[in-house]
Structure 1
Amino acid sequence: MSELCEALTLVIRQRDVKIFEAKAMLSFNTWCAITEKLFAGSRAKPSRKNAEAWWDELHGKLVSSAERVVRTTNKFGLDLEKADILVKEISFASLYPRAGSGTVEDRLAGNRFKMVLAVTTDGKATTGKGLSGKYVLAAEKGMRFGGRWLISRKVRWRKLPAGVVDANTAADVEFENYVAEQALIQRCRVHKLHNVPERLPEEKQQQAAWRLRGAWAKATPQEALKKLRALLKWLDAISP
C-alpha cells in the first residue's frame, strides 16, 4: 500500500486533483480489465457502451470527491507543501476477495479505508489556528489490481485538527463521515449484474441482465423500485 500512501500524501501536499486521478484512483483501463475478468465466460458481460457509462458515473463521483477535499484545503489555507508529514496508519476496516478470475492478490478489495497523518509545521490556517496536528483521509472503498492498491470509491476528510476549518465546515465533515460509515452494505451494480444472472439457467441470464439494466435506467427511485419488484416476481417464478 506504500504507493497509494505516497500518492495521497502528494495530493494533500500539492492540493492537486490531477495527481489523484493519475496516481491514486481506479483508471478506465483498470476498470475495463476488472470488468473483463469479472464477466469472463458469462453471457451477461456488459457491452462496451454500458461499461463506459458505468465508468463515467464512477469517475465523476471519484473526481468530485477529490475536488471537495482539495477545495477545503484551499478555502482554509491548509498549505502542507513544506510540512513534516508522518504516516501513522494506513488501513481498511475489512478486506474481502472480489469476484472474477485472476490471482488472489489482485482480487482483493477493502471497505472503509483510512490514512492517518501526523503533521508538523509552523503554518497557520485562515482561521488563525496552527496547522500541526492529526489529519485523517478516508475512502469508502479501495481495491488491488496489477500489484497496486487504488481508491475505487469516494474519498473525503475524516478528521482535521480542531479549529483549522470553521464550524459549518467541521459539521459538514462530521455529517459526511456519519453517512459514509453507516453504509455498511456496499451496493455495486457490476457485482449484482454478475452475481444475479450467473445463478440462473443459461437461457435466462441475458434476460435477467436486461431487466436489471432497465431498472437502473429509470429516472426516479420509485420507478426503479417498481421495476426491481417486478424482476423479483419474475425470478421467483423461474428460480425460486
Structure 2
Amino acid sequence: MAAEGSSTVVNIDAAAAAAAAADAEARGKAPAAVPPPPPAPAAAKAAAPFVRFMSKTKAKGGWKRGVFCFDLFLRIFALGACLTAAILMGTADETLPFFTELFQFHAEFDDFPAFTFFVIGNAVAGGYLLISIPCSLFGIVRPRPVGPRLLLIILDTVMVALTTAAAASAAAIVYLAHNGNQRANWVPICLQFNDFCQRTSGAVVTSFAAAVLFMLMVVMSALALRKH
C-alpha cells in the first residue's frame, strides 16, 4: 500500500511539472503584446488647423504658380515675336536693279507712315515685355500679391490695342501693295518689289501673333486674380 501511494504522488507531481513546463513554453513562444502609447489628443487638435492651412496654401499657390509659369513663357514668345516683327519691317528695303544710278525705284519702310508706326509700336511692346518678365518671375516666387498682377493686366490690355493697331494699319498697306486698287488706279508694287513685300508681309503676320499672345496673357492675369 505504501508503495502504491508513493507511486500515485509521483505521478501527480510529474503531471503538474509537465503542465507547468508546457505553460512556460507557451508563454515564451507567444509573448503578450505591448499596448501602444495613448495618443496625445491635445497636440493633435492644436496642429490640425496649421496642417489644414498649409495644405490649402500649397494647393492654391500650386495652380497659381503654374499660371505664372505659363504667363512667363507667353511673355518670352511674345517678346521674340515683337522684336522679329520690328526687325523685319525695319530692314525692309529694296531697290530695283534694272535702272540707272540717276533714276531708280526704291522702296523702304519709312516711305510709308503706317510702317513707321508699326516699327515703333512693336518696339514699344517688346521693351514693355522685357521689363515685365521680372514681374512675372516675382509672381512665380510669390503668387499672393495682387498689385503687380493688376498692373500687368492693365498694361497687357494696352499692349493688345497697340500691337493690333500697328499690325492692322500695316496690313492695309501690305494688301494694297499686293493687290493694288483699280478704282484709285493704284498698281500692285509687289510685282516689282518682291523681297520688300515678303518682309513686310512676314512682319505683319508676326505682329498679329504677338497680339494673340498678349490676349492670352490678359486671360492668364485674370485667372491669377481669382480668389478660388
Same structural fold, with TM-score higher than 0.5 when normalized by the shorter chain? no
Q: Which has the larger radius of gyration?
A: 2
Q: Which has the higher contact order (CA 8 A, sep 6+)?
A: 2
Return the TM-score normalized by structure 1: 0.28
Greater strand fraction, Structure 1 or Structure 2: 1
Greater helix fraction, Structure 1 or Structure 2: 2
